[in-house]
Chains A and B, each alone.
Chain A
C-alpha cells in the first residue's frame, strides 16, 4: 500500500527489492501509453519490457527527489522515440509547436451537449488524430492524472510547453468531436 503511494511521489533510499512494488502498479498505465504511442500491441509489449529492464538497471542510480512515475514514463517514451516506429513517426509527423493549424472552432462556443453525446469511440478517434506531441500530453494529464510538473519531467519539456500543448490538444479533441457530431446533426436534419 505504501509502495503505491510512493510510486506517485518521490522516492529515495530504496533498493532493488522495492522496485517491483513501485513499478508493477504502473504497468497497466505504461502499457496503455505505449499502445497509444506505437499503435501496436506487440510493440507496446516490447516497449514495456524494455522500460522495465532499463529502469531496473538504473534504479540503483535513481536520483533522490525525482518522481518515480514520471521517471518510468520518461524511460518508456525515450525507448519509443529511439525505436524504429518512433523514428518514423517523428519524421512523418510534424511536431513543431507553431506548425499546427488551429481549428476554426474556438473556445467561445460552448458545445457541452455535443461533448456529452460523444461516445468512447469518437473520443478515441479524436485522441488518435492528435500529433504525438499533443497526444502524449493530454493522455498523461487526463488519463494518468499527472500534475503539470510530473508531465514536464516525464516528457523532458518546460512546464510552459506542457500548458500550451495541453490547451491546444484539448482544443483539437474538442474540435474533432464538435465537427463530427455537428456534421451528423446537419446530415440528420436534411433527411
Chain B
C-alpha cells in the first residue's frame, strides 16, 4: 500500500512543480491563475491519495469537497478581479500592474 501512496505523492509533487514554475515565469494573469489551478489539483490528488493509502477515504473525501468549494469561490473572485484589472489597464500583463500609480 505504501507504494501506491508513493506513486500519488510523486505525481502530486510533479503537478506542484508545474504550477509553481508557471507562477514564476509566466506574465499573463490568466496563465498565472491556470498555474494556481494546477497547484490545487496537486493538493486534491495528495489529499485523496493519502486517504486511499491510509484507508481513511471518507474523511479525505469530506476534506476535498470542502477544498473544491473553496477553490470555486476563489476562482470566481479572482477572475472577476482579472476582468477589472483588464478594464483599467487594457492589458493582462502582470508587469504593468507594478507600474500603476495612484
Q: Are A and B subunits of one complex?
A: no
Q: Which residues of A contact B (CB under 8 A)?
A: none
Q: Which residues of B contact A (CB under 8 A)?
A: none
